[in-house]
Amino acid sequence: MRKTLVGIYERLLKVYGQLHWWPAKSPFEVIVGAILTQNTAWSNVEKAIRNLEVAQALSPAMLVDLPLAEVERLIQPSGYFRQKAQRLRIFARHLMERHGGSLVRLLDGPLDDVRKELLELKGIGPETADSILLYAAHFPTFVVDAYTVRIFSRLGILDGKEKYGEVRDLFLAHLPHDSFLFNEYHALIVEHGKTCCRKKKPLCNACSLSDICFYYGHPG
Ligand code: SF4
């Protein structure tokens, strides 16, 4: 399995090159982006983050102090803005009250402990927690998303019914625990899922994985 997973990574890397995620100017912006990107396109998240930036609200203190309606207004482009404003508020308040507003303090601990703390916050599920841990704190954890499940199911490595933790464990069990590798691997999966292994009409004839793909030749 290790050889297969590394082989897929190398093929995707050859096609797309290093993607250097996450597109953010600071770890706090990574976290805000990870919360806002739930169920929406990244372009909408960028607009919401830009609004927060212009309003000088891209900080834990401001996200606690601003009226919730104002946070909602600023992040409206990201969709589900009421729910997401609450989630940002919950995270920011936790950071302020438990860690004095310091991300360094929040993220300074063994991976499993920090992950558990994040998962206890309302609105932070495993994908968001792992995105924060990997991209804001460079912990060697693997982010699983819908692209991961789709691509690796089509390749015949998953059956598509596994729980989040099972998919994450598969990658963690067979790959070196290297945050650089996990950073690039997840970014490559997203790129491949968006541009080639699309939900409808995947571009199999142009895919660098077609010779090892179960779906290819057996679509539907
Ligand atoms: S061959 Fe088709 S289904 Fe398989 S990974 Fe490539 S794009 Fe996806």
| Within-domain flag for 58 | yes
Whichever domain contains 187, its CATH number is 1.10.1670.10
| Within-domain flag for 130 | yes
Residue 22 above 90 pLDDT? no
Note the pLDDT tens digit of each residue in 5-19. 999 999 999 999 999
Q: Is 158 in the pocket of ligand 1 (CB under 6 A)?
A: no
Q: Is 154 in the pocket of ligand 1 (CB under 6 A)?
A: yes
Structural domain count, the chain: 2
Distance 69 CA to ligand 1 centre (A): 44
How confident is the prediction for the chain on average, in pLDDT?
A: 94
Region 10-36: mean pLDDT is: 93
Same domain as 130, residue 51: yes
Tell me the C-alpha distance between 117 and 100, whole Å. 15
Q: Enumerate residues 6+ apart whose C-beta is below 8 A from 3.
A: none
| Within-domain flag for 50 | yes
The CB-based long-range contact list for 122-126 (8 Å cut-off, 24+ gap) reads 122/86, 122/87, 122/90, 123/35, 123/83, 123/84, 123/86, 123/87, 123/90, 123/91, 124/35, 124/87, 124/91, 125/164, 126/164, 126/165, 126/168
4-35 b/e (C-beta count within 10 Å ≥ 16 → b): ebeebbebbbeebeebebbebeebbbbbbbbb
Sequential DSSP letters for 2-27: HHHHHHHHHHHHHHH--------SSH
Note the pLDDT tens digit of each residue in 120-155. 999 899 999 999 999 999 999 999 999 999 999 999
In this predicted structure, what is the pLDDT of residue 81?
96
Tell me the C-alpha distance between 175 and 144, whole Å. 14
Task: Among 136, 159, 174, give the residue marking a domain's end.
Answer: 136
Find the domain containing 190 and state its range. Answer: 2-20+142-212
Q: Is 95 in the pocket of ligand 1 (CB under 6 A)?
A: no
Residue 219 above 70 pLDDT? no
Residue 134 has, within 13 A of its CA and on its CB side, a CA count of 28
Distance 197 CA to ligand 1 centre (A): 5
Same domain as 41, residue 129: yes
Residue 220 above 70 pLDDT? no
> For the chain, how big is the Rg over CA atoms in Å?
18
Task: Among 94, 115, 136, give the residue marking a domain's end.
Answer: 136
Q: What is the pTM of this model?
A: 0.92
Whichever domain contains 115, its CATH number is 1.10.340.30
Region 50-60: mean pLDDT is: 96
Residue 218 above 80 pLDDT? no
The single residue listed with the structure tokens 């995105």 is 131
Same domain as 165, residue 187: yes
CA dihedral (183, 121, 92, 145) in degrees, to 10, reads 30
Same domain as 69, residue 34: yes
Nearest CA to ligand 1 atom 2: 204
Q: Is 210 in the pocket of ligand 1 (CB under 6 A)?
A: yes
Same domain as 111, residue 75: yes
Distance 192 CA to ligand 1 centre (A): 9
Same domain as 162, residue 66: no
Distance 180 CA to ligand 1 centre (A): 25
Same domain as 187, residue 101: no
Q: Enumerate residues 6+ apart whose C-beta is below 8 A from 210.
A: 204, 216
Q: Is 189 in the pocket of ligand 1 (CB under 6 A)?
A: no
Q: Is 208 in the pocket of ligand 1 (CB under 6 A)?
A: no
Same domain as 108, residue 43: yes
Burial-class residue 49 by CB neighbours within 10 Å (0-12, 13-18, 19+): buried
Ligand 1 atom with the smallest distance to the CA of 214 is 4
Ligand 1 atom with the smallest distance to the CA of 202 is 7
| Within-domain flag for 217 | no
Same domain as 201, residue 100: no
| Within-domain flag for 169 | yes
Note the pLDDT tens digit of each residue in 35-44. 999 888 889 9
Same domain as 197, residue 126: no
Same domain as 155, residue 55: no
In this predicted structure, what is the pLDDT of residue 194?
94
Same domain as 150, residue 116: no
Task: Among 106, 136, 166, give the residue marking a domain's end.
Answer: 136
Tell me the C-alpha distance between 82 and 138, whole Å. 29
> pLDDT band for position 24 (50/70/90)?
confident
C-beta of residue 96 within 8 angstroms of C-beta of residue 60: yes
| Within-domain flag for 121 | yes
Distance 93 CA to ligand 1 centre (A): 43
Distance 169 CA to ligand 1 centre (A): 23
